Amino acid sequence: MKPEECNEIGMNCTEAFSTEFWTAISPELVMVIGLVALFIIPNLGNSKFRIPLTKLKIPWFLGGKRFAITGSPAIPGMLATATIFATLGMMAIDIIDGSVKTTTITSGDSILFKIDAFSRFFEILFLVAVLLASMATLDRIPAHTFKGKKSMDEMYDNRRQADLYILLLTTAIGMCLVALAQDLFVLFVGLELASLSTYILVAFHKESKSGAESGVKYFIVGSVASGIGLYGLSLMYLEFGTLQLSALRDAWSGTSTLGIIALGLVLVGFGFKVSAAPFHFAAPDAYAGANSPVAGVLATASKAMGMIGLIRVLVVITLPDSSGTLSEESAIWLYAIATLSVITMTWGNIAALGSTNPKRMLAYSSVAHAGYMLAALSAVGAWRWGEIDAPVDYAQAIVAAVLFHLFVLVAFKLGAFLVLGMLEMEGGASRLSALSGLARRDPLIGTAMFIFMLALAGVPPLAGFMSKFLVIAGIVSTSVGTVWVDGSVSFSDLHWVWWLALAMFLNSAISVFYYLRIGVVMFLDIPEEGRRKPLPYGASIRMAIWICLVATVILGLSSDTLIDMCYRAAESLDWD
C-alpha cells in the first residue's frame, strides 16, 4: 500500500525510512541511540591511532586506558536507566491524555508497524518493567561489594555491567517491536530478539550455580518452542499466502485443516512465552535460576509479549468474524483455550502449593495467572455466541481487563521479585526460610512483600483484586450476554464460560494458601542465622520496590485512569 492510497482511506501512513517515519518512531530510536552509547561510552579511553608511516598520532578514544568518569562501573546502569526513562517519558506524554496519533508504517505494499493506543500501551508496560529491573540492578549486580572495602576496580566487573544493560535494552527493543508489529513475521523477529536476550539474561546470574544451568534449559526449551511457532507460521503462509495481520484476517477460515494445524503450532510458540500449561515446564527453572529482577521481567514483560501474540492471533485474526457466518469452526480454538486455561491455572496453583523456593512459587503463581488470562481470552471467543450483532463492548471490556491485569502485574509480581532481589544481595533467596522474620528485620520491606502477596491473591482493595475482578466481570458479562429478557432468566441460559469464572475464583482461593505462607513466615518466624541484621541499604532497589508498592495500592484504589487507558487500547484493535 502506497502512502498516498493509504492516506486516501483515512489512515495515517508513512513509508519506512521516510522523514515522518523517524518522527513517528522517535521513542524507539532513543533506545537504539542509548544502546549504541552503551557500547561506546564504557570503552572510551586515551587510545591513539598512529597514521601508518608517520609518527602522527590521532586520538581515537576507543580503548586504551579508560577514562575515570566514563569507565566508572556505575555508568552503564545509569545510562540504561536514563535511556529507558527518556523513552518512557516520550511515550507517556501522548498516551495519558488519550491522544495517541495512529500511524501506520508501510514498506511497499505491506504494513510493517502500527503505532496506536494498543501498541503504545504495551510498549509502556515493557519499558516500565525493564526500567524497574534496571533500577533494581543498579545496586544489585556486585552482590559482594557491600561487605568488603576493595578498590572500585576489583569490586566491579565493568564489562559485565555493560553487558547486562545492553541485554536489558535489546530485550526492551525486541518487545517494543512485538508490540508494534503488524506482520506475523516482523512480530516473530521481535519476539526472537527479546527471547535471545532473555536467555542470556537468565544465565547471567553467576553468583549461583543454577544460573547457567537454567539459562541453558530455558534456551533449549525456548528455541524448540520458537521453532514450532515458526513452523506454524510457515504453514500459515503456505495456506493463506500472507503473514500480514490484516490480510490473514480476511483470508482466515476456520474450515481449513492446514490453517487450524498452523494455528495450533503458532499457539505453542506463544503459549511458551506466557508459560501456559503444558508449555510451562521451563518457566520455574528459569525464574529460580535467574537473578530476581530478571525473573521479574520474565514473569511480567515477557508474559505480556506472549499475550500480544495470542491477542493478535486469536482476537484479531481468527475471532468469529462479522461476515455473518457464525459457525462452530470459526471459534474452534474456544474449547482448546478454555480447557488449557483451566488446566494451566489449576496446575500452577497446585504446583505452587508444594514449592518451598519462593522464586519457584512465584513462577508457578505466574503460570496460574497465565491461566486466568487464557480464561479471559476464551470468553472473548464466546463473545458472539448465539447472535451475530452482540455489542463489541463486551469483547473490548474483556481484552481491556486482560491488559489491566498485565499492567498491574508489573507492580506486584515484579515488586515481589525485587524484594527477593534484596534478599539475594545478602546471599540467596531460594529457600522459604530466607524470608523468615523479614517483617522484623525491615518492617517496610516486609510489609511491602505482604501487600504484594495479598495483591497476587486478589484481596481488595489492591490492584490485584481489581484486575481479577475486571477479568471475571468480563467473563460473566459475556456469559450473561443479552439473554436478559423481561427480567427472567434461567441459569442454563448462561453460556458455559461462566464456569471459567468459577474456576478462577476457586483457584484464587487455593492460591491464598501459599501467598499467606509467605506472610506467616515473614511475620512469625525467627530470622535465620546470619540474617539478623537489617537488609543491605540499596537505595535504588528500595526506590523501585516503593514505586511498585505505591502503584499496587493506588491502582487498586483509583483505577479509573488505567481502566480507561486499557479500554482505549483494546478499542484500537481491529474489531469490525
Binding site for other proteins (CB under 8 A): 393, 397, 400, 443-444, 447, 454, 457-461, 465, 469-470, 472-473, 476-477, 480, 484, 487-492, 494, 498, 501-502, 505-506, 508-509, 512-513, 516-517, 519-520, 523-524, 558-560, 563-564, 567
Residue 534 Cβ vs other proteins, minimum distance, rounded to whole Å: 11
Q: From the CB of 546, what's the least distance to other proteins, in Å?
A: 14
Tell me how far, at minimum, the Cβ of 310 lies from other proteins, in Å: 22
Round to whole Å and give the CA distance between 415 and 517. Answer: 18
When the beta carbons of 469 and 575 are compared against other proteins, the nearer one is: 469
Give me the least distance between CB of 219 and other proteins, in Å please.
38
Q: Cα 402–288–302 angle (5° rounding)?
A: 30
- Measured from the CB of residue 47, what is the shortest distance to other proteins in angstroms? 52
- For other proteins, which is the closer residue by CB, 247 or 473? 473
564 and 402 Cβ atoms separated by less than 8 Å: no
Distance in Å, CB of 442 to other proteins, minimum: 10
Q: For residues 336 and 378, what is the distance between their CA atoms, to the nearest angstrom? A: 9
The residue (of 195 and 349) whose beta carbon lies closer to other proteins is: 349
CA dist 266 and 335 (Å) reads 17
Residue 397 or 456 having the CB closest to other proteins: 397
Least distance (Å) from other proteins to the CB of residue 375? Answer: 13
Report the nearest approach of other proteins to the CB of residue 378 (Å).
Answer: 17
Grid cell at residue 426? 545478602
Q: Least Å distance between CB 446 and other proteins?
A: 9
- Which of 199, 201, 143, 161 is closest to 80 using CA atoms? 161
Nearer to other proteins, 141 or 338 (CB): 338
Pick the closer one to other proteins by CB: 166 or 338: 338
CA distance 541 to 137: 7
- Closest distance to other proteins from the beta carbon of 527 (Å): 13
Beta carbons of 440 and 451 less than 8 angstroms apart: no
Q: Whole-angstrom Cα distance, residue 472 to residue 503?
A: 10
**Helices marked H in 99-244:** 117-140, 152-155, 158-180, 184-203, 210-240
Burial tier of 421 (Cβ tally within 10 Å: 0-12, 13-18, 19+): buried
Query: Number of helices (H) and strands (E), helices first, in the chain?
Result: 23, 5
Nearest CA to 286 among 412, 199, 172?
Answer: 199
Residue pair 176/189 in contact by the 8 Å Cβ criterion: no
391: three-class secondary structure by DSSP = coil
Smallest distance, other proteins to C-beta of residue 193, A: 35
End-to-end alpha-carbon separation of the chain, Å?
20
Comparing CA positions, the residue from 175, 80, 89 lying closest to residue 135 is 80
Which one, of 444, 353, 380, 368, lies nearest residue 413 by Cα?
A: 368
CA triplet 506, 515, 122: central angle to 5 degrees?
A: 80
Distance of CA 281 to the CA centre of its chain: 18
| C-beta of 560 vs 576, nearer to other proteins | 560
Phi, psi of 318 (to 5 degrees): -105, 5
Nearer to other proteins, 190 or 446 (CB): 446
Which residue's C-alpha cell is 572510551?
Answer: 44
Whole-number minimum distance, CB 431 to other proteins, in Å?
18
Cα dist. 442→231, 434, 523 in Å? 51, 13, 11
Residue 212 neighbours by CB under 8 Å, 6+ apart: 203, 206, 289
Least spacing, CB of residue 412 vs other proteins, in Å: 16
Per-residue burial over 325-340, b if 16 or more Cβ lie within 10 Å, else e, is: ebeeebbbbbebbbeb
CB of 159 closer than 8 Å to CB of 142: no
Min dist CB 533 to other proteins, Å, is 13
CB-nearer residue toward other proteins: 204 or 465: 465
In the complex with other proteins, the residue whose CB is nearer, 199 or 465, is 465
